[in-house]
Every structure is written in structure tokens, then in C-alpha cells.
Structure 1
Amino acid sequence: MSAGLGAGAPQAQAATVAGLTLPPAGKDIQRFDLHVPQSALNDLRRRLASARLPEAETVDDVSQGVRIDRLRGLVAYWRTRYDWRELEARLNRLGQYRTEIDGLGIHFLHIRSPHADALPVILNHGWPGSFVEFLDVIGPLTDPTRYGGSARDAFHVVIPSMPGHGFSDRPGRTGWDTARIAGAWVELMRRLGYRRYIAQGGDWGGSVTTQMARLRPSGLLGVHLNLPEFMLTNTPLGDSTPEEQAAIAQQQVFGAQGSGYFQEQGTRPQTVGYGLADSPTGQAAWIYEKFTDWTDSDHRPEQVLGHERMLDDITLYWLTNTGASSARLYWEFYQDTHELTVLDLPVGVSVFPAELVRTPRVWAEKAYKNLVYFNDDIAAGGHFAAFEQPGIFTKELRSYARLVR
């Protein structure tokens, strides 16, 4: 990383909610209760009502991006039916906190299990996700007996917001890549008093989880991934078996047809950020496209996520104005070369059927010398595993955790 870039900028830019700066975070852990000003929600509806859209696409599929009839429907629902206050109240009931780590205020949910022997787990989101992805797994993970499970599968759950996302501060200087975030999450778990725990993640969260494992902090028992970090590397892992050939073909399709957002956010996050900061319709389309392409829904994410849950995530990005700051993680990725991270602590991998690239077992075995759990026979789900299929995700995490508790 070039140390001179951004040297004159402040180390952190405080998190905001609808233009209001959140109180500075300190070294202690502070309760954070949320109440977005009604004026901000009124402004959102005003902007949605005056949105200017382009003409319709010239194809009968999603090959040119979000179809105009789908976006119109989503925006109309957002303007007339969506209620942010329901999510706000749910978050305040669960328990939100902020603490300063490595110069940034970090936001996280922390929900302790009623079962004394519960195993702590830190759940790591990616883009364009957020802590919202994991809300429906909190109950089954923390209180399994209430959901027909066993107390032996209970977890204490920690869900941080990545720097530049949600209610965490936005880095004011370069250098906040997934390795640095991993170090911050290790400190977060230490500060919470957890001496034995596991980590889970997919997308950028998978990279952060992998980097946590590379650090081998005392107490980290193992990691579970639903999209391994090596899917982002240029490391050739093989091309001989049918499974490897299928994965390589998926990578090539993604590179040729689905990686435009990656290139834009990886090279010009500031430029794309202007439109995302100014237009909620633009922000909605930018995220909804990924729900359309990356869920196991035949390009109809409403069928698996519903309007409310999609808009919970989209509204979070809008109210916190994190279109640009979240995109900068892609820029950070482009600044370094990326080689295969080989891990030797216990690793579990769950391959959901509609993932962008389905991980072949032989690739996982090359990267993870202690691969204790691998499942590529999952009934449903795509890139947003916990968001789409909370029941299946919970089962997968439990199955892995039983091997390392």
C-alpha cells in the first residue's frame, strides 16, 4: 500500500445518519440507540417521488441491468409502503454498540445467548450487504431451544459493520484493507472478553474471516466460509476435474458479464459515489442489481428476500451515505497483489448452489490444510446465504461448529 496516499486526510471520517454525525466512539463499549430524524425520511420520499428514469432496456432479460419495470415497482414500494421505523426498533431491541478500534468508531450488534456454554461467533458481511443479512439467524443461533434445536448449538453473536459501512466510521486515509479489518475484529472479540470463538463470512466478509485465521489469534478455534477468499485471487488452483472446469467457466462468465461494478468501484469509487449519494433511486438500482443477479431466485429476488428486507439494506446505505465509502474497499483490494492464503486451523466451507462461483472441494483442500467440513450438496441459496436461507445457513454453521467447539 502506498503510504503517501491520503496522508493529509483525517484518519477517520465520523459515521453519519441522514446528515447527523454520530457521537465519537471511545475505547470503552458504548450502547448505541438509533432514531433517524423524520425530516430525513421525508426527504427520501421527496427524492423518490421526483426521480427521473431512463427509457426502458432494449432486451427482454437482465443482460443490460435492472429492468425498468422492476425498479419502478421497488421505488414505488419504498416511497409508499416501506417503514424504516420497524427495522430501527428491531435493532434497538437487539442491542447496538460502538467502540473505537485503530482510530475508527466501529459499530456492531452483540447478542448474548441465554445458554451459559454458548460459543461466540463473529459474523462478517460483504458488499452490498450489511448486518441486515444476519438478522434472521440471530434468534436460532443464540436461542436454539426456542427454535426446536439443542442448547449445545448455542452461540453468542457479534455482527460488526465494516469500516465505511453502516454506522461504523469511514476511513479518512488509505490502508483499510481486509487484513487490517481482520486485526480490528480480533481486537473487538478480545475487548468483548471472548477467549474462545469462531468467525464466519462470505464475500468481503470471507476475506476478512480468512485474514483473521491467517493471524491465528489466541482463542480463534476456526473459521467457516460461504465464499472463500481465494475466489478473489489470481492464484491458479487447477483445471483438470469437471468441478474445477465448471468453476473456471463461472469465473470467466463473471469477468466478462458481471464484473463492471467491481471495476468501477475498484478504480473510481469516488466518482460512482456522487450519484449514489445524490439519488436514492440510483442507490437502489446499484444494490438491487446484485440481489437480482446473485440470489437463488431466477432473477426475482422479491421471491426469496421480499421488498421489506431488500429495502432494509438499501435504506441503510442511503441514510448513512456510504455508497462511496463502502466502494473504497474495492479500491484497497486493487492496490496489492493477491496470493493464495493457506490456512492450517480448522476450516469449514459451505457451497450454496447459486453462488457466483461454486468452490470445488479440491481447491478448498489446496488452500485449507485442515478442512474439517465441506458441503456442496445444499438445497437452495446463493451469494447472500444467511439473508436468503437463514434456516439452511444456521444448519451449516452449527454442523461446522460441532467439530471445533
Structure 2
Amino acid sequence: MVDADQTFVIVGGGLAGAKAAETLRAEGFSGRVLLICDERDHPYERPPLSKGYLLGKEERDSVFVHEPAWYARNDIELHLGQTVVAIDRAAKTVHYGDDGTHVRYDKLLLATGAEPRRLDIPGTGLAGVHHLRRLAHAERLKGVLTHLGRDNGHLVIAGGGWIGLEVAAAAREYGAEVTLVEPSATPLHHVLGPELGQLFAELHREHGVRFHFGARLTEIVGQDGMVLAARTDDGEEHPCHDVLAAIGAAPRVALAESAGLELAPREHGGGIAVDERLRTSDPDIYAAGDAASFPHGLFGTRLRVEHWANALNGGPAAARAMLGQDVVYDRVPYFFSDQYDLGMEYSGWAPPGSYDEVVIRGDAGKREFIAFWVKEGRVLAGMNVNVWDVTDPIQHLIRTKARVDTEALADPHVPLDSLAS
């Protein structure tokens, strides 16, 4: 039984942490709630950092999860710019800040998120080398793209994942020259496979992005602290003014690891290992968002999902579990992207090697279609490109695991709802 004398502590001021705090109050928890954030900005959502805000189409205030006054109004003790340095599980205390402030908890939620992976090559200390994870990064990069576009400058992007492609699109809209270096044969190779990765390569080439596939950066050359060029392992050199490292993100697990919590193996994405209730190996500590690795009954494996929807839904699920409610977290993974005039949504989980075929419904040439990743007649994942209001039937196909006629699946005249009766 949860009572008003209890203290719940949330570590991490991203979307998962903020939505967990909101849910605790919405579910009637009247005890003490602390939300400890190592950033000085109020909790915010990350998708605008590589989309609308970076492009200058959304105001800075639009990224925040709640207006600043919301926290005091809901009696959430918000500690900005404070880093949690230790968890004492025996004493059930969290230590944070430079002065060693500590607070006792009854339940603890780790929503520590992820951090950008760093290029381990010479030259990364130059002023023109960037990452994109935090609001401060986006503010800086926005200024960089503005200058590059105005001066016909050149940006080299290391990594052809979602962040790399979205920044490439933004840079081209600002007018900057862009070269993207990617070790795989296509962008998004490990997410969409070669079939759909090629479509995104063609999209960006049409907008002037140059690709250098099958290569990695080995050195960033500079002078007087400024970037002059980026070199690759196949001997190429790309003159440029700035470099963006977009080579993925690593879960922030140091705090959990030092507290002796179980971690997930690397083959499952690493992260803090939790059960289906988002509870860690300590029954009073939970984890959600980018940092958490949870068992997904639908796909029969452990997943760590680094997308907005996982934080949006995982934080509230963890909050309800902390309150003793019967929770099973098994949301179908979902993410979205906007690049130039292409908008897409992806549901499911189908890494390369897990499917037999990709079925296309619609016109891929016009970039108005749905792609389905299918194994033994069952839909593992679906991606709608410039086709809208189909997420629910796509996720229904995934959840039911029904065998479908692939010819009917490819036929736009056959309602999706009719395929999984």
C-alpha cells in the first residue's frame, strides 16, 4: 500500500522521467516526489532537436514537456543541474549534487537516458566537431547550420542513422553542403535493411547529399582549433568546416552499475535489465526509457528502445508499477521521422536477418507506400511513408501474429483491417 509518507525519487529529466512524475500525481500519489536532472533546462522532448526546432520551424519553448510552473503546482521537487553520484541500496538513499546532498527513497526510478557515442579518432577536440543529444547541442548546431548555409560551408556527418539523416536534411534546407560517411552499404542498414535503406539514400541524393559508403572516419584535420577536413579509412579526404558525430547512443548505466544492479548483455542493446514491470534486480528500483532493457513477450527477446514513444509510454508504466499496479510493459516499438517532404512512421522490430521478405503496398517510386517486414507469412514490422492513419492496423497485424496472404498485404485495395481477423 502506497501512503502519503512515502518518497519516490526519479533520476533523469527527460520525457520518461517527466511523464512518470505526471503519472504519479494523476494516479493519486500524495507522497513526496523528487525529479533530479543533470541538465539545467526543464525536462524536454528530444525529437524536435533534429527536426522542427533545428530547422527553425518550432520555438524553443515548444520542446518542454510541461511549462515551468507545472512542477511547483503539482508539488514535484525539481532539482535542475544536479547529478546523482551514488545510490546506497542498503540505506535506500540517493546522493546528488556537489555537496553530497542525500535523500531517502521508498521507490526509485532510473530514467537516465543515453549519451552520444564518441568518435575515438584524432581531432575530436576541435571546435567544429559536434554531437546532437541535448538542447544545448541543438542550439549550437542550429547556429552552425545557419552559418554554413550562408557561407556555402561543408558539413561531414559520420553515421547514416536517423539523427545523421535528419541533420543532413536540415543542413541541406539551410543550404549547407553535406557529405555523409557510413560504414554500411546503405543508410539505416541495421534498422531497415538494404531494401529500404536504398530508398533513403536516393531521397538524400536528390537533395544534394553526397554519400561515402563502406568507410569510417579515421581523423579530423584542423588548424588553430578549427576543422579543415575529415579523413576516412580508405584514404579519402573530405574538406569541411564542421563534423557531426552521429554514430549512435549508449545507455547511461554507470549509476546503476555502481549500485550493483543487473545490466543487460550487449547483444540485447545493453542497458539496465528490468522485468516486464520495468523493475530492476532491486525490487524497489525501476528503470524506463532509453536506459532500460525489457523482455518483450511479443518478439521473444529483450529490447532496449531509444525512441520517443518508449519514453512517453515507459515512464508512466514504471510509475504505475511503483504504485503497486499490475503492469506488463509490452508496447510495440514505434518511431517517426521527417526528412524533406518525406514523413514516415515505423512500428515493430525486424532487424536484418529476422525476416524473409519485404512486402510493399503502394508506390515506392513516388514515396507513398507501406513496407511490411514479413517472416513465414507473419508481419514483424511495418513502415508507412507519406501514408497516414494506418499505425493502429499495422500494430494490430504485428500483435496478432496472424498469417497473411502477402498478395493481399501488397494490394492497396484490400483493407488492412481485414487481414487479421
TM-score range normalised by the length of the shorter chain = under 0.3
More relative contact order, 1 or 2 (CA 8 Å, 6+ apart): 1
Name whichever structure is richer in helix by fraction. 1
* Greater share of strand: 2
- TM-score when scaled to structure 1? 0.25
Max radius of gyration: which structure?
2
